Amino acid sequence: MLKSDIKEILITEEQLKRRTEEIGAQITKDYEDKDVILVGVLKGAMPFLCDLMRQIHLPVSIDTICVSSYGAGTVSSGEVQIKKDIDSDIKGKHVIIVEDIIDTGITMAALKNIFCERGAESVEIAVCLDKKERRQKEVFTKYVGFEIPDEFIVGYGCDYAEKYRNLPYICTLYPSVFEHI
């Protein structure tokens, strides 16, 4: 059973909903009369992207990108490989990258560069969770849902071995879970 794997709920469904409403309202204010495209980073960003887009009361467009880091865990890593690109031409557009979590910052720093190079008018980041103490690459995050400690969490898009993304809250798992998968 799914429920028996869950140790502690750190951020509830209600808290996620409220914070997403606040960020959506802020983006609505900040981007009035601008041509905005939200780019969700697959797969983790899916729940946050779906919830956030419906709290932005502007005619935004949506796209998705899927990337993977080269040589994860190595100091030299800073490159990301695009596994599935966006379809949209972002030249002259205001891009908001939507992410579930920022950890080392490598993914976000690389994507920000890529979109700037392609001629976006501006590139900002909206991220649900920020593990600040893990940062290797400094990257400015304009919209942050919650700062969280360096603990292994799942839910609301965040996975362990591709599972638990569908949980509507952020939680930790019992250590026994990591032995079984």
The residues annotated with a catalytic role in the active site are: 103
DSSP state of 138: -
99 binds ligand PRP (CB under 6 A): yes
Contacts (CB under 5 A) with Mg ion, residues 137-166:
159
If the CB atoms of residues 5 and 99 are measured against ligand PRP, the closer one turns out to be: 99
Based on the shown chain and the rule CB under 5 A, indicate whether residue 44 belongs to the binding site for Mn ion.
Answer: yes
- For Mn ion, give the closer residue by CB, 71 or 119: 71
Q: Binding residue for ligand PRP (CB under 6 A) from 41, 49, 56, 98?
A: 41
| 103 is a contact residue toward ligand PRP (CB under 6 A) | yes
Q: CB within 8 A of 3, min separation 6: which ones?
A: none
Question: Which 3 state secondary structure label does DSSP give 94?
Answer: strand
Using a CB cutoff of 8 Å and minimum separation of 24, what contacts does 120-123 make?
120/90, 120/91, 120/92, 120/93, 120/94, 120/95, 121/34, 121/35, 121/92, 121/93, 121/94, 122/94, 122/95, 123/95, 123/97
Nearest to 45 by CA among 133, 106, 108: 108
- Closest approach, Cβ 98 to ligand PRP, in A, equals 10
- Among Mn ion, ligand PRP, Mg ion, none, what does residue 104 contact (CB within 5–8 Å per kind)? ligand PRP
- 129: tokens are 């969770």
Q: Does 40 bind Mn ion (CB under 5 A)?
A: no
Element (H, E) at 161: none
CA distance linking residue 82 with residue 155, whole number of Å: 24
Stretch that binds ligand PRP, among 5-13, 26-34, 93-101, 171-179 (CB under 6 A): 93-101
Q: Using the rule CB under 6 A, which residue among 159, 160, 163, 169 binds ligand PRP?
A: 159
106 binds ligand PRP, rule: CB under 6 A: yes
Provide the binding-site residues for ligand PRP, judged by CB under 6 A. Answer: 41, 43-44, 68-69, 99-107, 159
